[in-house]
């Protein structure tokens, strides 16, 4: 079974500062992928970044980077230079080798203050 844990129900950050959103996972699959999604108040799900378990380098996409620590089973999302538009719910998710299904965490509500 796969499990994703996001321990921060809510986070606050000042505009232009960096913020880290935590995600830990549990799986027995030898190969897996980790995803982050953003859900603004309008409700749509927006894909942000992907990390494969065998990728040598941490994934980066613009202001988003993934701090992947395989031994600790963590895949934290780092947002640099926060913007007001980053205020949203953020979900960590994982897919293992046992199927195509994606398992989501409970989410972290990020608020960026001016």
Partner 1 sequence: NAGVTQTPKFQVLKTGQSMTLQCAQDMNHNSMYWYRQDPGMGLRLIYYSASEGTTDKGEVPNGYNVSRLNKREFSLRLESAAPSQTSVYFCASSQSWGELFFGEGSRLTVL
Which of the residues 27 through 56 are near partner 1 (CB under 8 A)? 33, 35, 43-45, 47, 50
Q: Using only the alpha carbons of the chain, give its radius of gyration.
A: 14
Q: Which is nearer to partner 1, 39 or 74 (CB)?
A: 39
Angle at 21 between CA 29 and CA 97, to 5 degrees: 15
Pair 8, 20: CB distance under 8 Å:
no
95 binding partner 1? (CB under 8 A): yes
Six-digit token string for 34: 């980790």
Contact letters for partner 1, residues 49-88 (x by CB under 8 A): -x--------------------------------------
CA-closest candidate to residue 58, choices 38, 76, 80, 83: 76
List residues binding partner 1 (CB under 8 A): 9, 33, 35, 43-45, 47, 50, 91, 93, 95, 99-107
């Amino acid at each position: 079974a796969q499990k994703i844990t996001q321990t921060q129900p809510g986070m606050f950050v000042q505009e232009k500062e960096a913020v880290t959103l935590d995600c830990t996972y549990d799986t027995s699959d030898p190969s897996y992928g980790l995803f982050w999604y953003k859900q603004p108040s309008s409700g749509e799900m927006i894909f942000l970044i992907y990390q494969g378990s065998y990728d040598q380098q941490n994934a980066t996409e613009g202001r988003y980077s993934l701090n992947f620590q395989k031994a600790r089973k963590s895949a934290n999302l780092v947002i640099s230079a926060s913007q007001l538009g980053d205020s949203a719910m953020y979900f960590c998710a994982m897919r293992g080798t046992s199927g195509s299904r994606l398992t989501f965490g409970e989410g972290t509500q990020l608020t960026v203050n001016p």
